[in-house]
Structure formats: structure tokens, C-alpha cells
Structure 1
Amino acid sequence: MKGINIFQSKNEFYTEFDYNALTPASPVTIKGNNVGKINDIKYDFETGKTRVAFTIDKNLQFSKDSKMRLYELGIMGGNGMAIIPAKGGTPAKNGDFIASEVEEGLVKSLTSNFSGLSSGLDETLESADSLLVNLNKLVEDDSEKGLKNAIGELNTTIKSFQTLSYSFNSLIAKNDATLTSMLSNFDKVSKDLGALTEDLKDVEISKTVKTLDQTLLEVNTLLAGLDQGEGTLGKLLTDEELYNNLEVASQQLQELLQDFKLNPSRYIKVSVFGKNNKEGYIKPEDERQ
């Protein structure tokens, strides 16, 4: 019982193959059902074989004479290990070694895979060689499509940018004084704007706006009163009879003043020659007389 965990829910077994075609993720099955997993895969330097340690659920009972078959998983890819149970015999116990076998055709498939890998490597090398040849042709090509021409055009473009940079620097050097003056003026204007902004901050704009609003409110009240005929001016504006009477009175006053100018003797009893003018009011043709 030494080294055996009696509380373990799985039993560990061992087997070996001439080829290693398994991975720790390869399934351990029986009749297509997954019943265990691979714990360890090691190469035995003494026997030259691959030793595989795997665990099986304790609930599965199978004979020690069963076989562990290495088989292909099909379209899923990879390989698996299946228990081929034997009829009768001693039940397999924890730590037993189970004989193995390989599915017919799998060894041939493995060897063909190695040969396929070799041929694939040859094809890869051939492709790499073709790529290098094409790259050399591209570098050596002197036409417009060649790499040399592309590099030459790129170099010309860089030189053009360099010339433009020199011209730009020369332009800045020639106009350095003007640019400095412009920047100084701009700085002065910015400072003036800053000072103006500070002055505007001290102005009680809200108070001024409030006073203006109050004034406009009073004007609106006054205009509303005039429109409703309040006060002398309002009555004058809205009372048509008063307007007509004022117009008649104004006309009569005008006639009275006109008559006074033309016939002052009617109103002032002064007679130079002792004769009174008894004539009535005669309206002149030009009322301005």
C-alpha cells in the first residue's frame, strides 16, 4: 500500500509504444467514451520506447489482459488511447502495466507524416529561394518599376524638401526684423486687450444695465399713460374734441393777431388826424402780412 492514495478517485496505469504520437491532452477512452487522462509521457532510454502513465476512473473495471490501443481521432486531428477490454482474466489494479497495440495503418501514417514533413520542408526552401531571386531581380531592375528607381525618386523628393527648408530659413532670416516687429506689436495689442479686460471687469455693467432697464420701464409706463389719455398731454393726444377746439382757438388767435397788425386803431384809441377807422376786419390775401 506504500505510495498509494486510498482516497484517490482514479487508478493509475502504465503502457508503452514504439512511437510517441500522444500529448498530455490526448483522451483515454473506452468504446468512444472518455474515462481517463494522460498524466505523463517519457522516453525510456533503456528500451527505446515511449512510456505513458495514465489514470482511469475507479468505477471502471476492466481486465489486466486488456490492450491500450493507439488510434487516430479522425477529423478532430491528433491521436488518442483506447482501452480494448479482454473477456475474463484478473481485474486491473492501480499501478498495473497494460500491454499496448497500434491501430492498423497508424504506423504507416506516422512515417508518411515524417516524409511529408521532409517534402514540405523542401517546398518551403524552394519557395524561399524563389522569393530571394525575385527580390534580387527587383533590386537590380533599372526600369520605372524597379526598386532602384523608387529609391532614386525618394532621394530626389528628400532633396527637394531640403531645398525648400533652406529657402524657408533664408526667408525667415531676411524678414527677421519685420517678424520681430510684428510679434512685438502683437504682444503689445495682447497686453492692451488684457488691460482693457481688467478695466471692463471694474465697470459696474450690471448696475448700468439695471438703471437702463428701469429707465425703459418708466418710459414704457409714460407711453402707456399717454395712450390711455392720462395727463394733459395724454388728453390732448386722445381727446379729439379738445384737439378741434384748440385748432379753432389757434385759428381765431391767428386772425386776431392779424387784425391787430392791420388795424391797431381798433384796439388802441390813438388818432393822429382825428379820424377813427370804422371798417370791419378784412382778411388779407397773404395771411403772413
Structure 2
Amino acid sequence: MIKISRELKAGIAALVILALFYWGFSFLKGRNLFNGGLNSYYTTYKNINGLKKSSAVTVNGFTVGKILDIRFSNDPAKKGQLIVEFTIEEDLHFSKKSIAKIYSGGLMGGKSLAIIPSYDGDEAKPGDYLKGEIESDIFSSITNKLNPLQSKIENVIVNIDSVTHHLNKMLNQRTIENLNNSFENINLIMESLKNTSATVEVMMESNQQNMNNTFSNIKNTTKNLKTFSDSLSKIKLLAISEKINRTASHLDSITAGIQAGEGTIGLLTKDEKLYNNLEAASKELEELLRDVKEHPKRFVHFSIFGKKERKYEEATETKEN
């Protein structure tokens, strides 16, 4: 039987202790040596909001890894930004368009990193950088909502202070006396209105009978108007309207006949020769009547002894005409 020396046993024990120490240290840093190779990914933030090493990395609420390291970037273009290295221990596939979002695990809990996977585009490989975002926690949301309200309250307080200052400048002794006088005048006006109201009430009571009679007359008048309206409604307005329409139709037909030259009036308006003959006859009749009036002896002969009839001679005036 092979004997193992104490030195060898001590050396083996030391190696086991060192291996356990290294495994424990790696596990605390987020590395699990018994779970195969590690898939490390990176993301950058300007502010990590309290994210720590060994914080959980989740996908849809399920823990798939841990934060491995947090350090400042050495890239001059990203000066001041923090690089977060995290590991994915599960066999998870997602694209480079996935998002690494810092979120709060609870009201009193620490920060965690959630992977919001996207499956469009090229698949992410260990060593790739994902886009980093920060989710607002409840306190940040409340603070963001209270900040505008705080500014508005401050503006209101400033306005109130300004108004108070102006009021203090306005409310001097003279202004106060004027206000007191105004209130006294208001009291006098109210007293006057009260007396006026009492007077009106007395007048209403004394003239109640007259007012009742007035309302009764108004009621009778309304009734008469209603009766008159009913009488108007019973008139055969439709028949009257039809007669007016027929009369207008007859007038239209008469007018049309005159325009067409029918009848005496139509001939007078349309037959110019007839009109000229009538006008000439009218003129001759007018001349005859004037001649009879001026020389009646030419047309009426009266003689007791049978005087010989004198031959008619045309007047000189007529010849001249």
C-alpha cells in the first residue's frame, strides 16, 4: 500500500482550498465555473443609477446571468461613460437590436439589468455591445411629475408676494378710510333698497284688486283673440284663393288675346291702319262740331216766309286750314 506523506496531503488540501476560493470568488463576481463557457456582452451608460457588480441579468423576469464588471470607458469619444460587462449563462439567442435596460427590482431593492430581446437582424455574439437604456422607477417618475408642479407653485408664490406687496402699497391710511366710507355707503344703499322693497310691497297689496282686474282683462283679451283666430281658420280661404287664381288666369288669357290682336282692343293695339282711320275720323268730327258751334246758321235754317235756301259757302277759316 502506497503511503502518502503528510506534505503531499497538505499540498493537495491547499490546492483544493485554493480551487474552492477561486470558485467562490468567481461565483461572487458572477462567473459560474461549473456551467460551461461564459457569454460576455457589453453596454454603455452615462449613469447606471446604482447598478452594482453581481446584480442579476434577467430576460422576461427570469435570471439568465449577472453583472460581471463595471468600469469607465477609455475611448475618448465616450469619455465619462460607464461600460457594463454582463454574462449570459443560459443558451439564449437574440439579435444585436436587443436592448439592455436598467430597472428597479422593487421599492427597496437594488437595480437589475433586463435584456429586452429582439429577433430581427444579425444575431448578437459574445463581445457585442447592446443599446443601453434606463427605466424610470417610481420615485423618478414622481420626481419628474412634481418638478413642473414645483415650478408652477413657485411662480404662484412669487405672484402672490408681488400682489401682497402692491396691496400693502395701496392700502395706506387714506385708502382704508375710503374703503370704510364705501362700506358705509353700501350699507346706506342696502337700507334704502330695503325701504324701497317695503314700499313696493305696500303698493302691491293696495293695488291687488286692480292688478287682478288687469290680469282678468288680459285673460279675456286672449280668449277673444283665440275666438277670432278660430273664426279666421273657418273661412274658406282655399276657395277664395282658387277664385283669385281663376280670375288671374282669365286676365292672362285676355291679355294674351290683346297681344295677339284679337277683338276690338287687340285690333286697336295691333292694326295701325284702323288706328289711323279712327284718329282721322275723330279729328273730322271735332272740326265739324267746332264749325257747328261757331256757325250754326250754316246747318239750321228757319224762315216764316219761306225764304229761299242759301247755298252753303265754306268758311274762310276752314279754307285757310
TM-score, normalization: structure 2? 0.39
Q: Larger helix proportion, structure 1 or 2? A: 2
TM-score, normalization: structure 1? 0.42
